[in-house]
Structure 1
């Protein structure tokens, strides 16, 4: 029924009258195996993470599928900060290097992209200079003096106090430290927290230690600590970590009015900071934080659409497409049923269902005599009350989408069903996916 309705919309639409309407598709979650592009062009700019100014960099990339990767250099290769990469739609790893900055590696899944041009802004964090008896990144070589505080010890020793900080804000962060002695192979493991921001280690012999520092949502730090002077002093080491780069592109078609894209990170307090993101038409671009929730607002002269999503690693790409105008939609004279499918354990619509939802809303807006019934459903994973709540949230999400288009509450009936009305057996993931749904009924008031 859904496919028939969508097909009918297109058959009856006068393509010359199609206005622009915003439909979001999370390309990274599209069906595996559907290749939309024959090649990919990645244009980007490398900047200093603190000053936001372009910096000259060297960029190399290789296909992840290769057992013996062949590294290729980017076109223009970071001249004046800008670079260009031409690649097949496959997964690649991108290595970015600049003198005086931490080297970063980024894995990018380029399969199944619907739009073949991408724009990345890559921030790099400056290195801390290599100083005597200090932790340093493996690529630094410069040495210098540091302030040192004496410690009380009967024999020769040295103490290191280690702290991990965000490379841009310089605020302490939670981190796991792992130090491995070359002489003995002994491993030191420590964990810091926001309450206990540093760890203290005392050494009594010369050694070279491998240093690994890891923190959630940050790229790992690999460095060395050379104990070449037992000076009975305390050395304070601050190690800067760089957040895992997460990119955002909103793609708008070249034949539509200029769009404005706003991005806000959702917070539990509801105090969401909304910013307008830059545009290099037709690509709007920005940086995200891994696993955080965001709301996108896209405006043209004809429409405004909101969409909520969770940032995933690599590229989060959204595409603006067109659908038929309201005055070309067929008139519904008999009750119609539509099924919208959701991602597991949350209220995010699958991309194909997002498109169908917008079509249903357009139909309801064009035909004021239509009433709407919304039934929320879940699979059988979890307890009954949790599933009932989730089905309520899913139904509310769909209801709010109608409200956003001016369809009044008097036309809508919302019911939470939980897991008690499955349409499949819940024996496997495919069947469970069919039960993560909202059913929407449109019916003329005279045909209920």
Structure 2
């Protein structure tokens, strides 16, 4: 779902001032920046702050696109391991209680998406007495605790390999033997693909694969302002494969770095056949007999297009494709490739639960996901028309009706001659 957010650019060069902007309700924002290394920080109420490192001094083109994911920071179930650890430590300390009031803080780092414990380095810095506590957790011991006996304001810094740095603050004020549980939710480092293709008129299709353990996994691409965009895994190995009208495959391999991976690929222009003087038609001599042949009408055989309108359904508040929907889209993409004169209209819908504006965005995202799937299968985006109708349905009063409205409709048509 797109979000309005506060955007801040923090340059690693301390001599440069920070820049601030606001992403609108549709999530979009635009900033002119210095070509320097910086951090894009996105912040909005109810979500974990996201910090994206960008090396803007490495760009070959002056325009770049980023999509910053924000993770919802809602209440989750208490981690069982954290709870058990807290209780065990409390029981042991109760046996040797020395009567000193204390405040017990228990810490753990987890993946913000998967909610799984991860090893991390913790640094707790006190504001009052400048005390510093350094702790490192591992896969075997993912939790640690510390007893505080005096008031303190702590800065908490958490670092884990492959994740953005986590920063938070804690006030130590009560000393009532209560165990305080602290879960640091970490977001993975983010890598973006900005693929620019020159001489794109000769392009037939483009595919990007993640290469790992001898296998290839295709990633989803979208297109904005003549640039192909995709999300990558930092440190992952990738291959770009482009087919053009010149019957030549162009391949580029690279390792994804954190931030923007801008790749520029140039296709060979289509060669015009050169006619030599010796191949040019000679003048017809007088004695040559000229025979006029009537032009025969010829109609190219067209493959029948048998696709009827299709409806694909989604889970509530989701725009993730279901496995059965992917199978249907695989077959549709094959038939669209065989019928290049047929276009497709994709219309997204949502139920009427919640904010109408968010439902409108959700319906558009559902349509966009299907568009990206077909695009990655080789369907030119000029053949695809997108529309989002939000939650404006005639019947959404029952749960069955709302389920029917979490859908995308696909219609096929031939363009006007």
The separation in 2 between residues aligned to 1:246 and 1:270, in whole angstroms, is 22
Within-5 A mapping of 1:15-414: 53-61=1-9, 65=13, 67-69=15-17, 71-73=19-21, 77-87=23-33, 89-111=35-57, 113-127=59-73, 149=87, 151-152=90-91, 153=94, 154=97, 155=99, 156-253=101-198, 255-257=200-202, 260-267=205-212, 269-280=213-224, 282-300=226-244, 302-323=247-268
Superposed CA offset, 1:117-137 (max 9, x none)? 3221111123367xxxxxxxx
Aligned partner of residue 86 in structure 1, secondary structure: coil
* Corresponding residue of 1:42: none
CA contact (8 A) 2:208 2:238 kept: yes
Residue 325 (structure 1) shift = 6.0
Residue 315 (structure 1) shift = 1.4
The separation in 1 between residues aligned to 2:229 and 2:172, in whole angstroms, is 45
TM-score by length of structure 2 reads 0.54
The separation in 1 between residues aligned to 2:204 and 2:174, in whole angstroms, is 61
Superposed CA offset, 1:383-422 (max 9, x none)? xxxxxxxxxxxxxxxxxxxxxxxxxxxxxxxxxxxxxxxx
Aligned partner of residue 228 in structure 2, secondary structure: strand
The separation in 2 between residues aligned to 1:260 and 1:281, in whole angstroms, is 17
* Corresponding residue of 2:375: none
TM-score by length of structure 1 reads 0.50
Given the superposition, is the C-alpha separation of residues 162 and 264 from structure 1 closer, same or farther in structure 2, using an over 3 Å criterion?
farther
Larger radius of gyration: 2
Residue 261 (structure 1) shift = 3.6
Residue 176 (structure 1) shift = 0.1
* Corresponding residue of 1:23: none
CA contact (8 A) 2:110 2:117 kept: yes
The separation in 2 between residues aligned to 1:215 and 1:168, in whole angstroms, is 15
The separation in 1 between residues aligned to 2:17 and 2:153, in whole angstroms, is 31
* Corresponding residue of 2:293: none
Aligned partner of residue 323 in structure 1, secondary structure: coil
Structure 1: give runs of 5+ residues left out of the alignment.
Answer: 1-52, 130-147, 330-448
The separation in 2 between residues aligned to 1:289 and 1:123, in whole angstroms, is 13
Residue 244 (structure 1) shift = 2.3
The separation in 2 between residues aligned to 1:178 and 1:66, in whole angstroms, is 23
Aligned partner of residue 57 in structure 2, secondary structure: coil
The separation in 1 between residues aligned to 2:250 and 2:16, in whole angstroms, is 45
Residue 191 (structure 1) shift = 0.9
Given the superposition, is the C-alpha separation of residues 184 and 314 from structure 1 closer, same or farther in structure 2, using an over 3 Å criterion?
same
Superposed CA offset, 1:47-77 (max 9, x none)? xxxxxx1111122336655615152536xx3
Given the superposition, is the C-alpha separation of residues 107 and 71 from structure 1 closer, same or farther in structure 2, using an over 3 Å criterion?
same
Structure 1 range deviating more: 197-206 or 169-178 = 197-206
Given the superposition, is the C-alpha separation of residues 263 and 255 from structure 1 closer, same or farther in structure 2, using an over 3 Å criterion?
closer
CA contact (8 A) 2:199 2:269 kept: no
Residue 250 (structure 1) shift = 1.0
